[in-house]
Amino acid sequence: MGHFMTTVSYFVVLFISAVLADGGLVGVNYGRIANDLPEPTKVVELMKSQGINRAKLYDSDPTVVKDFADSGIKLVVAIPNELLSSVVKKPSFANSWVQENIAAHYPKTQIEAIAVGNEVFVDPANTTNFLVPAMKNIHSALVKLNLDKAIKVSSPVALSALQNSYPSSAGSFKTELIEPVMKPMFEFLRSTGSYLMVNVYPFFAYAANSDVISLDYALFRENPGVVDSGNGLRYFNLFDAQIDAVFAAMSALKYNDLKVVVSETGWPSNGDKNEIGASQENAADYNGNLVKRVLTGGGTPLKSNSVLDVYLFAMFNENQKTGPTSEKNYGLFYPNQQKVYNIPLTEEGLKAWKGGKRQSAPVSGGGGGNNNSSTSGGGIGGTGGVSTSSSGHTWCVANDKSGEEKLQNALDYACGEGGADCHSIQPGAACYSPNTLEAHASFAMNSYYQKNSRAVGTCDFGGAAYVVTQTPKFGKCELPTN
């Protein structure tokens, strides 16, 4: 997940399958950054008790994969970002990985897809150039084992891959990604009959811009809608607007025939005081209304015939996540397997669900407005652009619990390949004092974050940073907003 969730080695995502005639699949992430979660065998049983028949892992832990054997649950496994270079440089490594992590378990464990990396474009280790070659090598290894028809290959992409996302009709990919990565990846997906995975979080856009985004619009509640000035379509929720920005970006490159799967989305049930909108009520409304929207069928305003498959984040609250309080509170379940709140997860559950219909008090700006500035990645989608008031600003600061090595790597990357403006933390400059790793890393990572228009996923650095909504100061140095 962009924004604190790129440590793929510890993540598992599962699908809750509920298929209607014209509906899609609804999924829920099963993260494991916690020390109090049930054993995987018990989690598999919980999935089955909830009617779940699809699961997606963000690693290939053999004990977890084995626990899905004979469960009736179809599985997606993943290759962590740190292995992509090995997959590319040594085709024999790719062959061995597929043999040991896929073929060894298949078909007792019903593996149906492989996710190659996770949000590679925002990985501070800069593994972008390895992505498409790695996908091809993994697919070639599947071909050798005659598994390529049964098992698809894809890669989850953060919404920050977009250069523009507002209005949705103006959606476009970042220029530097188009020729070297996006087009080759789309060609690969098309030729292999696969699909694009995209991670979408309306919560981040709302929390950072609550003065111009209506809460009703963000939570799928009743609202008057927002008209896209480019194509005249009316949007009634931020989620659809963000998805259509992706569709528009793909269409601009002539790949509008590819299927899009929302590999991550969610809303926290608790957060810090400055994390606007994080509450149990809002989380229940967002996730419950999203489930209803997906299971009852219908596509987006731009692609009305496209069936959406969506993975909710997350299965459990995770007590070892870094960052603000919200990061530990995306779960649908507590570690004791009790529900955090009641929402439907299947067609049967949807019939009895009474939530999600309330209308909250109006929010200033109403989700409309005349601000035509584009957003990058974070994607306000069909709302009125990024607020220029202080209440809409966010900053990126160092996570001092991530350790000196991660902070130093993040500092080096931001000031180097990341292109951050680090002049102010040089000896004698305005923000050199205090001369601490935390202060200097915060300045550098925030510069990178602001340079990238505060896009979702650009303040993570492998868990070394997180977003705050109040102006951070180190000594006399106040971090800038641009």
Write out the catalytic residue numbers. Answer: 119, 264
- Using CA atoms, how far apart are residues 292 and 343, in angstroms rounded to an integer? 10
Q: Which domains does the chain have, with CATH numbers?
A: 26-56+155-351 (3.20.20.80), 395-478 (no CATH)
- DSSP-assigned beta bridge partners for residue 316: 333
3-class SS at 473? strand
pLDDT at 375: 28
Structure confidence at residue 22 (pLDDT): 62
Output the pLDDT for position 191: 98
pLDDT at res. 463: 79
DSSP 3-state of 335: coil
Q: Are strands 110-116 and 152-154 parallel, antiparallel or unpaired?
A: parallel
pLDDT at res. 16: 43
Helical H runs in 236-346? Answer: 238-252, 280-295
Structure tokens at 482: 């641009």
**DSSP characters over 397-462:** EE-GGG-HHHHHHHHHHHHTTT----GGGSTTSTT--S--HHHHHHHHHHHHHHHTTT-TTSS-GG
pLDDT at 1: 55
Contact 323, 378 (CB under 8 A): no
pLDDT score for 129 = 94
pLDDT, residue 419, reads: 85
Residue 31, strand partner residues = 11
| Dist. CA 168–CA 166, nearest whole Å | 5
pLDDT value for 105: 97
Ordered mean pLDDT values, 10 residues apiece, the chain (482 residues):
39 41 75 91 90 82 92 88 95 96 96 92 86 97 97 95 93 95 98 96 91 94 91 94 97 96 94 93 95 89 89 90 93 93 88 66 29 30 29 78 87 86 89 92 92 81 82 87 76
The whole model's pTM is what?
0.72
Angle at 65 between CA 59 and CA 68, to 5 degrees: 135
The two structure tokens encoding residue 11: 């993540």
Q: In what order do the strands lie in the sheet with 74-79?
A: 152-154, 110-116, 74-79, 54-57, 11-16, 26-31, 309-313, 260-265, 196-199, 156-158
The three-class DSSP label of residue 146 is: coil
Q: Name the residue among 166, 129, 157 with its Cα closest to residue 453.
A: 166
CA-based end-to-end distance of the chain: 24
DSSP string, 4-48: T---GGGEEEEEE----SS---EEEEEE---SSPPPHHHHHHHHH
Residue with tokens 């000035």: 229
Contact between 400 and 184 (Cβ < 8 Å): no
3-state secondary structure of 272: coil
